Chains A and B, each alone.
Chain A
Amino acid sequence: MLPQAAAAAYIATSDGLLLVLSLMLPVAALLASLLTGARATKFLTFTASAAALALSVIIAVRIAQTGEAIVYVLGAWQPPLGLALRADGTAAVLLVITSVIMCATGLYAHWQFDLPSGTGDSRVSTVFRILMMAVWSALNAVFIGQDLFNLYVALELLTFGAVPLVCLDGRAETVAAALRYLMFALLGSLLYLLGAGLIYSTYGTLDLKILSGLADGRPALSVALAFMVAGLLAKSALFPLHLWLPPAHSGAPPAASAILSALVVKAPFFLILRLLFDLAPAISSRFAGQGLAALGALSILFCSIMAVRQERLKLMVAYSTVAQIGYLFLMFPLAVGTDVLPPWHTIAWTGGLLQLASHALAKAAMFLAAGVIADVFAHDRIRELRGFAHVLPVSAFAFGLGGLSLMGLPPSGGFTAKCLLLTAAIVEGYWWIAATISAGGVIAAGYVFRVISRAFSTPDLPLIPQRPVPRKLERIALALALAAVALGFLPLQPFTYLQVGRPSVSTWAAP
């Protein structure tokens, strides 16, 4: 059952080794860390983080310069027998966002572990560094993988790196949260694997590019994609499969929460995006897109209200993650494109990916700021945090700036993203999506202002910091929040960079 692959062969580009390096660097640091001690691990992860950040920027710049995707064919064996790695403009944006957030949270964790109040346990900091490298490599593998089974392994590696991050401090609640997360994630990956098996038995290949050429309206393909998307939904915590996320993300140490909330849940979303837009037959894609957007809308409404009701700051931020992920799924029916307009030329495609990027930066900033607040006052009960901005002005400011993106107020990346999605919803005539985006913004304002208004109020008894204020940590949160704000200065139009390496208007076959 070998497919006629000659026409769809990959042409490796000269800079393809960059992709291999972006996978290998974190893994090499991880393996070397396992063999050496805590001090060497610190050095190795620092070096690897800086190198991987530079590498992702080089990849993004190369793609911008050449205007073509970077392709690497492993061992020069063409798929379907071999494997290919490929980074187009959209993947490059995700690689850069990943490395920026990884470097910021890595630095935060480094300083936090050195605090007198920090764990002081070199084992925890070493394990964190090793897991961070594992998650980083797995994320890169998801973003540049081209083979469905390769992507399955990448997803599993991501799970195996992310689950221990949840229970890093070893308390019983966090171990339970990690176990619950693992149950959902395993069910998700097995459903994905079942779908991949059905696709292989139908088409005889697992390569995304060859499949997108072969894909026809066979029911087997729709069934397989339904299994895969359902599995990925459990991993990306879309309502009603979000139950594992709030306890897992709120119980982890702040740097781990930032990585989990900003990046890890985005990887399965990115895979759903590729499956639906590159593989799915137009009719099933349209049908599934409507369903996903409906679940996204329920996520936004239900989990925003849950966020307003939370007593604890970190749980509130975690619920808002589920709500913000809901916005990502609104792009499926909006970005279908038309006969003459490929999906990646629509404003919804840009809006969705901008929402992904700005949420990643804003949410990392908010979790890091919440981590400082919880550390300084030794608790994170919102009710008892009156006037915390007088003690921690920088953290309060970072939290508020991050909140701008969640609410969709200008100037912020979240505003631009939600504005693009809202415009697309109105143009396409999806009134319920437009109403959900507006309502979600109002409720988000409710939970952000609930914290911010308390922060700046004058308490009856002044809040007494239990520990010295870690200024360096506050600045990292602020830098990430400012980056999320800076995304708001991008123009309100489809970015051509996101279209690099995808079929252009002239070669676009109408769905």
Chain B
Amino acid sequence: MTTPFDAAMLLGLSGSALIGIGLFVIITHPRVLRKIVGFNLLGAGIFLVFGVAAKRGAMAGLAGDPVPQALVITGIVVAFAATALAIALLKRLFELTGSSDLAPLPPDASSRRT
């Protein structure tokens, strides 16, 4: 690393920021749709971290480490499938109950909401 602030560093910081925002949204927002968006933000941040791994690998003398890029493509496919499944379940829940929110757990399950 020649300069203290290069592209990989910027990418890493953006990835970390996205991971933080995603986790915050998932944990604090009660609405399921928001949580699903949060999962996508978290996923995007993680893929950027993989991008940093590819870039850093390139600095070790390789033209560019292709393995993390292959992993990211697979990861995007899996994340897409997960989002589709979540949306399908949420849509079904809305059709059945008229609400797109998870009811709080019964009091005997726990006092916490998800």
Q: A: which residues have CB within 8 A of B? A: 1-2, 80, 149, 152-153, 156, 159-160, 163-164, 167, 170-172, 175-176, 178-180, 182-184, 186-187, 189-190, 193-194, 197-198, 200-201, 204, 240, 243-244, 246-247, 306, 309-310
**Is residue B89 contacting chain A, with contact meaning CB distance below 8 A?**
yes
Instruction: Report the minimal beta-carbon distance from A42 to chain B, rounded to whole angstroms.
Output: 25
Instruction: List 15 additional contacts besides A200-B53, A200-B71, A243-B109; criterion CB under 8 Å.
Output: A80-B67, A152-B75, A176-B97, A179-B90, A182-B85, A187-B26, A190-B42, A194-B46, A194-B49, A197-B53, A197-B68, A201-B53, A201-B68, A204-B65, A243-B110
- Counting from the closest, the 6 A-B pairs by CB-CB distance are A201-B53, A172-B96, A179-B89, A1-B60, A197-B49, A1-B57
Instruction: Tell me the interface secondary structure of chain A in the complex.
Output: helix
The residue from B43, B50, B105 contacting A200, defined by CB atoms under 8 A apart: B50
Q: Which residues on the A side are within 8 Å of B102 (C-beta)?
A: 176, 179-180
**Given known contacts A1-B57, A1-B65, A156-B82, A183 and B32 CB-to-CB distance under 8 angstroms:** yes
**Given known contacts A190-B46, A200-B50, A200-B68, A178 and B108 CB-to-CB distance under 8 angstroms:** no
Instruction: Count residues of B near A (Cβ-Cβ below 8 Å).
Output: 41
Q: B: which residues have CB within 8 A of A? A: 19, 26, 32, 35, 39, 42-43, 46, 49-50, 52-53, 56-57, 60, 62, 65, 67-68, 71, 74-75, 78, 81-82, 85-86, 89-90, 92-93, 96-97, 102-103, 105, 108-110, 112, 114
**Given known contacts A1-B60, A187-B39, A243-B112, A198 and B90 CB-to-CB distance under 8 angstroms:** no
Closest B residue to A187 by beta carbon equals B26
The residue from B67, B82, B109, B110 contacting A186, defined by CB atoms under 8 A apart: B82
Instruction: Report yes or no: B86 in contact with A182, Cβ–Cβ below 8 A.
Output: yes
Instruction: Report yes or no: A204 in contact with B46, Cβ–Cβ below 8 A.
Output: no
Q: A170 vs B97: C-alpha distance in the bound complex, in angstroms?
A: 12
Q: A293 vs B108: C-alpha distance in the bound complex, in angstroms?
A: 25
Q: A194 vs B47: C-alpha distance in the bound complex, in angstroms?
A: 8
The residue from B35, B71, B89 contacting A167, defined by CB atoms under 8 A apart: B89
Instruction: Report yes or no: A156 in contact with B78, Cβ–Cβ below 8 A.
Output: yes
The residue from B56, B85, B109 contacting A1, defined by CB atoms under 8 A apart: B56
